[in-house]
């Protein structure tokens, strides 16, 4: 049992410094072996065996999943030729994410996280196998696709908070910033590899075999999880199943309005400013580049993000993380507006989307540092689940919003108006929470 002073050390404190800056000190500031010790390099985090296993396993599996996403979008458009039908994919995914993500966070803080991920990955592999089988037997239709996507989204609601809660337990605190940054890079790499290859694989071997490739990729991460050793949350810190754990998590979030403001910024950016649902329309009817071009368009934002990989260390050292997030999201909105005005050629559209991806990468890294470094381990599952609601629910609901607006007006109007709304929403959040401009979070031991 911890004494009262120790409990106070576990709370995140936000205080104004003499020059008016705000510093958010992490709740898990355990003393390091040396006050001046630093990791050998940004990449030394891969010396942690279990983190490396999770990283590479997720990289391959998530790349396969991105290929599946391309296949689903292309198949839906071939079956319907409707922007609204494409937008419904996002809605079908968003509903269970919003409903079950908080529950998934509680489970991640109560149950064995490694075993949870194993069950989740096996189930997701089965969903892709169902899509492949239905396509083979020519019984595939929109209702089957939406049903499988819905079930997969329900299961994935438990995957994101569990994986996010595991990462900080696999590395020393002084390497946390590197682990978070590289995990962001990993996800962007999966978008680049999976999305770009997905379009070509569909053209080469068809939608069915693209689904089977995704199934195979899941076995890689399953193998990684089987040989990993994931530290368990100690019994005295572990959340108890039930509403009590949920309420405790909400109380923690209420005491940290900066975290809520940062999550809101990302939600509005992706809800209004994500053109993902309309990319099949752009590829087919505006840019006339087919499924190969669709894969490139889907990968473009991640290509922009990955180009910042050599600079992730510097990005993670930005002092005023709150201001960095704000500027990055405004940059995202500007690039999306520019893309909306583009009617060709393909390379110009890719440049604008890549610029948006680069801005999003900066936002993700800084947002991840603010959230992970101000959240105690026993709360990470629940706070990660709230993060999932905003980070994943936003773009999925945004797909429905953009598809609906495109159906009522035009795809170009939907993209342009969404980018403008993203910028205006960002300025509104800043006006409501001006302290966000001065947020600083310690990324090393204090």
How many Cβ atoms are within 10 Å of 289's Cβ, its own excluded? 19
Average pLDDT over residues 17-25: 36
**What is the structure's pLDDT at 241?**
42
Question: Is pLDDT above 80 for 29?
Answer: no
**What is the structure's pLDDT at 37?**
44
**What is the structure's pLDDT at 10?**
30
Distance CA 401, CA 217 (A): 31
**What is the structure's pLDDT at 290?**
79
Query: pLDDT tens-digit profile of 223-245?
Result: 888 888 776 655 554 444 444 54
**What is the structure's pLDDT at 253?**
67
**What is the structure's pLDDT at 239?**
46
Question: Is pLDDT above 70 for 7?
Answer: no
Q: In this structure, what token pair is assigned to residue 170? A: 């696999």
Q: Which residue do the tokens 């752009």 mark? A: 282
Query: pLDDT tens-digit profile of 282-326?
Result: 888 888 887 778 878 888 887 888 788 777 777 777 778 888 889
Confidence at 132, pLDDT banded by 50, 70, 90:
very high
> Could you tell me what percent of the chain has a pLDDT over 90?
18
Among 279, 199, 211, smallest CA distance to 64 is for 211
Q: What is the pLDDT of the chain when averaged over all its residues?
A: 77
Confidence at 24, pLDDT banded by 50, 70, 90:
very low
**What is the structure's pLDDT at 81?**
84
Burial class (CB in 10 A: 0-12, 13-18, 19+), 161: buried
Confidence at 142, pLDDT banded by 50, 70, 90:
very high
Among 28, 30, 25, 27, smallest CA distance to 15 is for 25
Q: In this structure, what token pair is assigned to residue 35? A: 């006050």
Read out DSSP for 310-370?
A: GGHHHHHT-S-HHHHHHHHHHHHHHHHHHHHT--S-HHHHHHHHHHHHHHHHHHHHHHHHH
For domain 46-231+243-441, give the fold: Growth Hormone; Chain: A; (1.20.1250)
Question: Is pLDDT above 90 for 336?
Answer: yes
Question: Is pLDDT above 80 for 413?
Answer: yes
Distance CA 244, CA 235 (A): 16
- Show Cβ contacts of residue 381 under 8 Å, excluding neighbours closer than 6 positions: 104, 105, 106, 107, 108, 109, 110, 113, 161, 162, 164, 165, 239
For residues 84 and 281, the answer to whether their CB atoms sit within 8 Å is no
Q: In this structure, what token pair is assigned to residue 88? A: 């419904």
Read out DSSP for 205-270?
A: HHHHHHHHHHHHHHHHHHHHHHH---PPPPTTTSPPTTHHHHHHHHHHHHT-HHHHHHHHHHHHHH
pTM assigned to the model? 0.60
Average pLDDT over residues 34-42: 46
Query: pLDDT tens-digit profile of 77-129?
Result: 888 888 788 878 878 887 887 777 667 767 777 777 788 889 999 999 999 99
- Show Cβ contacts of residue 264 under 8 Å, excluding neighbours closer than 6 positions: 390, 429
Of 39-43, 155-159, 161-165, highest mean pLDDT: 155-159
The mean-pLDDT minimum among 64-73, 147-156, 296-305, 327-336 falls in 296-305
Domains of the chain: which residue ranges?
Answer: 46-231+243-441
- Show Cβ contacts of residue 128 under 8 Å, excluding neighbours closer than 6 positions: 68, 211, 212, 214, 215, 218
Query: pLDDT tens-digit profile of 418-437?
Result: 999 999 999 998 888 888 88
């Amino acid at each position: 049992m911890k004494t009262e002073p120790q409990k106070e050390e576990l709370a995140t404190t936000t205080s104004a410094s003499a020059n008016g800056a705000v510093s958010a000190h992490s709740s898990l500031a355990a003393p390091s072996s040396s006050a001046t010790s630093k990791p050998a390099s940004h990449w030394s985090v891969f010396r942690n065996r279990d983190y490396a296993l999770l990283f590479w396993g997720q990289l391959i599996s998530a790349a396969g999943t991105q290929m599946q996403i391309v296949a689903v979008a292309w198949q839906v458009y071939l079956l319907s030729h409707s922007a609204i039908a494409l937008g419904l994919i996002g809605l079908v995914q968003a509903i269970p994410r919003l409903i079950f993500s908080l529950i998934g966070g509680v489970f991640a803080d109560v149950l064995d996280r490694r075993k949870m991920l194993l069950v989740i990955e096996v189930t997701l592999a089965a969903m892709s196998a169902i899509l492949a089988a239905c396509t083979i037997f020519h019984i595939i239709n929109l209702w089957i696709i939406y049903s499988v996507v819905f079930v997969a989204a329900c299961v994935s609601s438990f995957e994101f908070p569990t994986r996010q809660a595991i990462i900080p337990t696999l590395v020393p605190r002084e390497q946390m910033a590197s682990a978070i940054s590289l995990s962001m890079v990993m996800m962007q790499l999966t978008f680049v590899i999976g999305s770009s290859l997905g379009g070509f694989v569909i053209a080469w071997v068809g939608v069915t075999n693209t689904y089977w490739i995704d199934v195979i990729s899941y076995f890689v991460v399953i193998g990684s999880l089987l040989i990993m050793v994931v530290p368990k949350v100690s019994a005295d810190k572990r959340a108890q199943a039930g509403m009590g754990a949920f309420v405790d998590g909400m109380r923690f979030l209420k005491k940290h309005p900066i975290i809520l403001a940062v999550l809101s910024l990302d939600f509005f950016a992706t809800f209004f400013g994500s053109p993902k649902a309309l990319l099949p329309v752009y590829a087919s009817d505006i840019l006339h580049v087919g499924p190969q071009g669709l894969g490139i368009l889907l990968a473009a934002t991640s290509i922009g993000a990955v180009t910042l990989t050599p600079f992730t260390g510097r990005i993670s050292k930005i002092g005023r993380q709150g201001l960095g997030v704000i500027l990055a999201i405004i940059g995202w909105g500007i690039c999306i507006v520019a893309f909306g005005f583009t009617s060709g050629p393909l390379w110009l559209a890719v440049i604008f989307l890549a610029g948006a991806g680069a801005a999003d990468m900066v936002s993700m890294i800084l947002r991840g540092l603010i959230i992970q470094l101000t959240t105690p381990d026993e709360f990470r599952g629940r706070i990660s689940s709230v993060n999932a609601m905003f980070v994943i629910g936003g773009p999925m609901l945004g797909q429905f919003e953009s598809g609906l607006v495109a159906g009522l007006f035009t795809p170009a109007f939907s993209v342009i108006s969404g980018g403008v709304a993203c910028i205006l929403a960002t300025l509104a959040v800043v006006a409501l929470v001006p302290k966000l401009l001065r947020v600083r979070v310690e990324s090393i031991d204090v």
